[in-house]
Amino acid sequence: MVDKYDEDLYENPFFIALQTNFPQLNEKATSSCWTVCIPRYSSVEHGSFTEHDVKDHIIITTQAETDFYSTWSGKKVCITDGKLALKIGNEENMVPILFEETFYNNSDESYKVLCIGWPLNTIPKDNVKNDHLKTAARPATYEECCRLLFGHSGSRRSQDAVDKLLDSFAKSYQISGEKFVDIVDIASTQYTKVMQTAMKDSIVRRQAQESQGNMDNLKFAVEAYMMQAIHKELFQVILTNFSSQDTDINKMRRNLKDINLNNLGVKSDFISNIVPARKELVRLNSTPHLLEG
């Protein structure tokens, strides 16, 4: 089985179709404690399913210990090395088992459900076979972060909830000279709340569950989105709050204007880096997150 892949089968289009469109087939399969195979979400996201499709994905299991079984539609299938193998025409379809779950029928008897890489009755193109292992590239811009979080249909409610959470935090937060460790704790708590809110969206949650890389991308996108929102609301407040200290620093700078880099012991090899470094420092006031280039 494939490590770390996960999804909520109750949101899977094939599983939903089995239960709602083919209740009699579902009742027969589950009451017989046969094994039900559910292709992963992305492989059936836009599909429509027939009775024959359903029977192709129900394996008639027996008490006998064997690796060879038949589907309800009569096709021979072998379960070996974490894969389901069956022939389609002259080709062999080797479908990976992504994970296994135990469900219970109306008589409280258990039956097995296998989430598999793609439909058993379809041989996918080569670029689809390892799709469950792929990780999207790290977002390179703020806009890409927004698309990752809210670029799909039905995401408006999730974005509104995140925006409301961040807006409430920015308006209620009082700058009162906390220690740095306290500020870290406050930011961490708020970040956790935003992550939990974003993960309530089933599409975002499913993508994150597919791989650790996707989860890392989600965390990165949430961090950038949160920093952008809070910078817009709080940064000017922070500048105002520390304006007196800023004035003191500016006076010190003017008093030290005659000191050169040699007086500070800066090696000649590094002197050329000072000017661009100062430019970067000046840009910090208008830089809400690390993606600002």
Of 50, 40, 32, nearest to 13 (Cα)? 40
pLDDT of residue 256: 72
How many residues are listed for the chain in this entry? 293
**215 touches 208 (CB < 8 A):** yes
Q: Which CATH number fits domain 9-133: 1.10.10, 2.30.180, 2.130.10, 1.10.3470?
A: 2.30.180
Q: How far is it, in rounded angstroms, from Cα 185 to Cα 202?
A: 28
> Token pair for residue 183?
């500020």
Q: How far is it, in rounded angstroms, from Cα 105 to Cα 27?
A: 8
**4 touches 216 (CB < 8 A):** no
Domain boundaries, the chain: 9-133, 142-286
Collapsing DSSP states into helix, strand and coil, what is residue 147?
Answer: helix
Q: How far is it, in rounded angstroms, from Cα 239 to Cα 224?
A: 21
Phi, psi for 157 (deg, rounded to 5): -65, -40
pLDDT of residue 280: 78
How would you label 86-114 residue by residue, b for 16+ Cβ within 10 Å and e otherwise? beeeeeebebbbbbeeeeeeeeeeebebb
pLDDT of residue 127: 47
**103 touches 33 (CB < 8 A):** no
Q: What is the pTM assigned to this prediction?
A: 0.56
Question: Angle at CA 148, nearest 5°, toward 232 and 172?
Answer: 30
**Alpha helices of the chain — where are they, by DSSP H?**
13-20, 23-31, 41-44, 51-56, 126-129, 142-150, 156-172, 180-198, 202-210, 212-241, 243-255, 268-271, 274-283
Q: How far is it, in rounded angstroms, from Cα 213 to Cα 133?
A: 10
Q: How far is it, in rounded angstroms, from Cα 238 to Cα 60?
A: 67
Q: Would you report the helix, strand and coil content of the chain in percent, each value rounded to 5?
A: 55, 15, 30
| pLDDT tens-digit profile, the chain (293 residues) | 555 677 888 889 999 999 999 999 999 999 999 999 999 988 898 888 999 999 999 999 876 667 789 999 999 999 888 899 998 878 889 999 999 999 998 888 899 999 999 999 988 775 455 555 555 678 888 899 999 999 887 788 999 999 999 989 888 877 666 677 887 888 889 999 999 999 988 888 878 877 778 889 999 999 999 988 888 777 766 666 666 776 777 777 777 777 777 777 778 788 788 888 878 777 766 666 667 65
CA distances from 135 to 112, 151, 152, 218 (A): 29, 17, 18, 11
pLDDT of residue 87: 85
